[in-house]
Structures are given as C-alpha cells and as structure tokens.
Amino acid sequence: MTTKPLPLTPELHAYLVAHGSTPDEVVRDLAEETLAALPGEAVMQVAPEQAAFLTFLTRLLGVRQAVEVGTFTGLSSLAIARGLAEGGRLTCFDISEEYTGVARRYWERAGVQDRIELRIGPAAETLRELPRERYLDFAFIDADKVGYPIYWDELVPRMRPGAVIAVDNTLRDGRVLAPRNADDRAIAAFNDAVIADVRVEAVMLPIADGVTLARVL
Ligand SMILES: C[S@@+](CC[C@H](N)C(=O)[O-])C[C@H]1O[C@@H](n2cnc3c(N)ncnc32)[C@H](O)[C@@H]1O
C-alpha cells in the first residue's frame, strides 16, 4: 500500500487523458466553440477526462433519472445524457439562457435532446419543484459555489438508496487548504458538512479540480 500521493505533472496528465476515452468530434467542437465565444468563462467547462468519467459513471450505475445543477454550454450534461440507460432522463438547471442556448444545439447534434429537460431559473428555487420522493439515481452539482449546501439539501432527500451525487470543484485548485475568497470558504465548509452527513458515504477524487462522489444510504 502506498500513502505517497502521485504528483500529476502536465506530461502525466496528458498521458492520462490520452489513455482514457477520447473526446469525439461533437465534444471537440463544443469545447472549441465555448473557448472562442466565451473565452473568459470557458474555464467553467468540465475537463475532457471528467466528461468521459461522467459518461462512464452514469453508464456503470445504470442511471435512469438524473439531475444536473449548472449546465453552462453543455459538456457535462452531454456526457451524462450519453451514459443514461434506455428511457433515461436528465433534468438540467441553470440561470443562463445564453449559455444553455449553446448546450441545446450540441444536445441536438449529439442526438440526446429528447432525454434532456432544461429548467431556467435560480436552482435554489427551481430544484424545489422536483417531486418530493426518492426517485433520482444520479445528480451532478456544478453551479455557483455558495449555493452548493442548498442544492445538496434539496437533492439528498430525493436520491434513492444507493444513488450517487457527484460534486465538482471540491478541491478549488488546492485552495480548500487556505481559502482566499468566498467561494473557497463555501467549498471548504461544504466539504466538512458532506463528511459529517450521516445520510451519505463520500470519497473525494483528484480528477480535474476535485470531484466528490457521495453515495446516498
Ligand atoms: C461551472 S458552470 C457549469 C459547467 C458545466 N457543468 C459544463 O460542464 O460546462 C456553472 C453554471 O452555473 C450556472 N449558475 C450560476 N448560478 C446559478 C444559480 N443560482 N442557479 C442555477 N444555475 C446557476 C451558471 O450560469 C453556469 O452556467
């Protein structure tokens, strides 16, 4: 057993990406368009290896009912939708018509638009409209960081036993160790709350900017 963490150099990261499922033309075009049209915001998009991981995980879990909070131009939602089981549905939440207008085009191009429903509005309010029963198999949280505890509290009671919540940016580029701004502090507090939450068991993975996987008991 090793307790020494492996430093992920840029070369090793490139190797890792090249040895996982590689992005297809739709994903490459979506990443390129997002960077060209929204250069200041493109950093919000999930990493390509993270998108591959989301498809893998969704497929592995046999997900039929999924929710995403924070859709942006659609890369993570596309990845989740592609992994859904036959007849599966993904409900996406975002506040921006502009960003999600791009997402809608790429869902259509990838042929997954029929499985996705988009709800526009502040997720703290729109999530409350979901059925109040334990029916969700998978959720991905990747919206405004200060909202994470609210999204968590809306989602956990709606997850069926054994369902998984994936949460993005839980390492904040390492700044969870020494938070520098409100978002860093929000995530550090959120991480503490997750590990103390007796309704879930959780692991943190050093994928991209840190992904927490919580299995709801
Ligand atoms: C980090 S980006 C999501 C990236 C996306 N998962 C992807 O792979 O491209 C965060 C998104 O959260 C949305 N957002 C911010 N505040 C929100 C709120 N209060 N309710 C819903 N969505 C919100 C933003 O419009 C933005 O599209």
> Is residue 164 within 8 Å of residue 201, measured between CB atoms?
no
Assess if residue 150 is contained within a domain.
yes
**Binding pocket residue ranges, ligand 1, CB within 6 Å:** 44-46, 70-73, 75-76, 93-96, 99, 122-123, 142-144, 147
Closest Cα to atom 1 of ligand 1: 44
Assess if residue 113 is contained within a domain.
yes
Assess if residue 6 is contained within a domain.
no
Question: If you measure from the C-alpha of residue 136 to the centroid of ligand 1, how many angstroms do you get, rounded to a whole number?
Answer: 20
pLDDT computed for residue 2 by the predictor: 67
Domain count, the chain: 1
Closest Cα to atom 26 of ligand 1: 72
Assess if residue 109 is contained within a domain.
yes
Question: If you measure from the C-alpha of residue 93 to the centroid of ligand 1, how many angstroms do you get, rounded to a whole number?
Answer: 8
Residue range 31-72, pLDDT digits in tens:
999 999 999 999 999 999 999 999 999 999 999 999 999 999
What sign has the CA pseudo-torsion 30, 35, 39, 40?
positive
Averaged pLDDT, 127-150: 98
Averaged pLDDT, 183-200: 98
> Is residue 35 within 8 Å of residue 59, measured between CB atoms?
no
Question: If you measure from the C-alpha of residue 86 to the centroid of ligand 1, how many angstroms do you get, rounded to a whole number?
Answer: 27
> Is residue 34 within 8 Å of residue 42, measured between CB atoms?
yes
Question: If you measure from the C-alpha of residue 165 to the centroid of ligand 1, how many angstroms do you get, rounded to a whole number?
Answer: 16
210 phi/psi in degrees, rounded to 5: 95, 125
Closest Cα to atom 9 of ligand 1: 45
Q: Residue 40 sits in a domain of what CATH number?
A: 3.40.50.150
Q: At what angle do helices 25-37 and 97-110 cross, to 10 degrees?
A: 160
* Nearest atom within ligand 1 for CA of residue 140: 6
DSSP class of residue 158? G
Averaged pLDDT, 70-86: 98
Give residue 22's pLDDT band: very low, low, confident or very high (50, 70, 90). confident
Question: Which DSSP string corresponds to 138-149?
Answer: EEEE-S-GGGHH
SS3 132: coil
Assess if residue 41 is contained within a domain.
yes
| Beta-bridge mates of residue 205 | 211
Give residue 131's pLDDT band: very low, low, confident or very high (50, 70, 90). very high
Pairwise CA distance, residues 143 & 93, whole Å: 9
Assess if residue 11 is contained within a domain.
no
Closest Cα to atom 11 of ligand 1: 70
Q: Copy the structure tokens of residue 60.
A: 């592995």
Task: Determine how many CB atoms are found less than 10 A away from the CB of residue 200.
Answer: 19
Range of the domain at 123: 23-216
Assess if residue 13 is contained within a domain.
no
End-to-end CA, the chain? 28
Give residue 6's pLDDT band: very low, low, confident or very high (50, 70, 90). confident
| Mean pLDDT over each residue of the chain, to the nearest integer | 96
> Is residue 138 within 8 Å of residue 58, measured between CB atoms?
yes
Pairwise CA distance, residues 80 & 78, whole Å: 6
Pairwise CA distance, residues 33 & 30, whole Å: 5
